[in-house]
Every structure is written in structure tokens, then in C-alpha cells.
Amino acid sequence: MKEEQIYSGKAKTIYRTDDPSKLIAHFRNSLTAFDGKKKSEAPNKGYYNAQISKKIFEMLESEGIRTHFIEMVSDTEMLIDTVEIIKIEVIVRNIAAGSITRKYPIEEKTHFKDPIIVFDFKSDEYGDPMLNDDIAVALGVATYDEMEKIRTIALRINKLLVEYMNKVDLLLPDFKLEFGRKDGEIVLADEISCDTCRLWDKKTGQSMDKDIFRFDKGDLSKAYEEVARRIVPEIFA
């Protein structure tokens, strides 16, 4: 049973339930970019992202990756395990786009021979600065052992996601993961959706992700719907 709201982020609201070990995540239609400086709403965005995320969490679970996903409780709400969130954004990159092309002499669309993992300290106050294992440990946000485990799981997820997206004619330049702790284990948390992945149509190269909103590249809801049609065709049946 859904109880009071405990947290409202940029695109999801988290509610307590009558069971302290479970929470409800509501995917909203709100959108933000550039550290919250740009804001908007897109019809059905929450629905498409929730359904895409659910399908991907189920696929990852079937491959032995532990996630916080339990079940959908409505079209836009998922029941999730309560985990202790690790304050690190784990970015995995396969093709150069976004910040890496601004910060380093790397041209957009460069295909990396091996995936690149970047860890950012999840802190609005400090502007999500990049961190390495030593800084993570010094800050007390993770142990060396956890950093190693997160890296291994992130690379495994990347391999599975690249193959999965390829089958539906999507390229996966990069994406962001968040992890939590539960019962001494590392668990995939947050979401995997068009808000947290760059997805390019394999044939046209067009963005089908939040870059449409960041750079006013067209109709975001239509693009997310198209991604949902490819990943969760069953919801359109």
C-alpha cells in the first residue's frame, strides 16, 4: 500500500509503503537538463520510461544481475526494494557523445575499442565531480571492494544492453547507472530509460533520448514512444 512521499527527484517520486523493505517509484512526465536549469513536461514520458525500465530490469534479472525492481503496481509506478543508495553515478561509454567530447579532444561518434567507465560523485551541491576509487573511499561513499564490483557489474550490463539495443536497431553510445546496497550485496537501482541512456537509431543516427530535449531536436514524446514500440511492443498490442 502506497503511503507518504519520501523523496521527489527530477523525474521520479519515491513513496513509502506499509512494508519498510519496499518503496514505490513513480515515473513522472517532468524533464530537467543542465543541472535543473532547463525544465519541461512531456506527455506520457513517465509511462514510456517506466515500461522500458521494467523490461530492461527483467532482462538483466534473467541474466543474473540483481536489481531493485520487484513489480509494476500501475502503468507508471514500480514496487522496488529499499536499498542504501551509493552516491556515485556510473557512466558507461561506447561511442563518444556529450560531456566527454567537451572535456577531452575526442570527436563525437568516435567508437571506443573498449567501453569507458566514468564515476561521478552524485552531489548537486558540488556539481557531480568525477571521482576515482581513492576519492570514493576517502569520501566514505564506497569501499575498494565495492568499486571493483560496481565496475564488473557495469561492464556486464553494458555488454547485455548493447546486444539488446542492437536487436531493435538502436545504438547505445552511453548511459548512467546507480547502485545500492542490500543485504551486503550490490544491487542495480534507479532506472534505465530514454532519460538515462543515449540511444541513436541505427539507420538514421537520430537521437531517441533526452538529447531531443537538451538540444530542442524535435518531439520527445514521439521518440520515446518509438523506443517503447521497439523494446516493449506488448504494451501497444
Farthest-apart Cα atoms in the chain, separation:
51
Given 57, 119, 175, 179, the residue binding ligand UDP (CB under 6 A): 175
Q: Assess 115 for contact with ligand UDP (CB under 6 A).
A: no
In whole angstroms, give the CA distance from residue 17 to residue 3.
Answer: 5
Check residue 210 for interaction with ligand UDP (CB under 6 A). Answer: yes
Name the segment binding ligand UDP (CB under 6 A); options: 46-54, 141-149, 168-176, 219-227.
168-176
Where does residue 14 rank: exposed (0-12), middle (13-18), buried (19+ CB within 10 A)? Answer: middle
What 3-state DSSP class applies to 167?
Answer: helix
Q: Which H or E run includes 166?
A: helix 144-167
- What does the angle CA 87 – CA 140 – CA 132 come to, to the nearest 5 degrees? 70
Asked if 174 touches ligand UDP (CB under 6 A), the answer is yes
User: How far is the C-alpha of 98 from the C-alpha of 95, rounded, in Å?
Assistant: 10
- Binding-site size, ligand UDP (CB under 6 A): 12
Q: Which is nearer to ligand UDP, 19 or 168 (CB)?
A: 168
Helix, strand or coil, per DSSP, at residue 135: helix
Scanning 19-27, 134-142, 159-167, 194-202 for contacts with ligand UDP by CB under 6 A, the matching segment is: 194-202
Residue 88, interface with ligand UDP (CB under 6 A)?
no
Which residue minimizes CB distance to ligand UDP?
Answer: 98
Q: Is 45 in the site for ligand UDP (CB under 6 A)?
A: no
CA distance 33 to 195: 10
144 vs 168, beta carbon nearer ligand UDP: 168
Per rule CB under 6 A, is residue 176 in the interface with ligand UDP?
yes
- Note the residues at the interface with ligand UDP (CB under 6 A): 89, 91, 98-100, 174-176, 196-198, 210
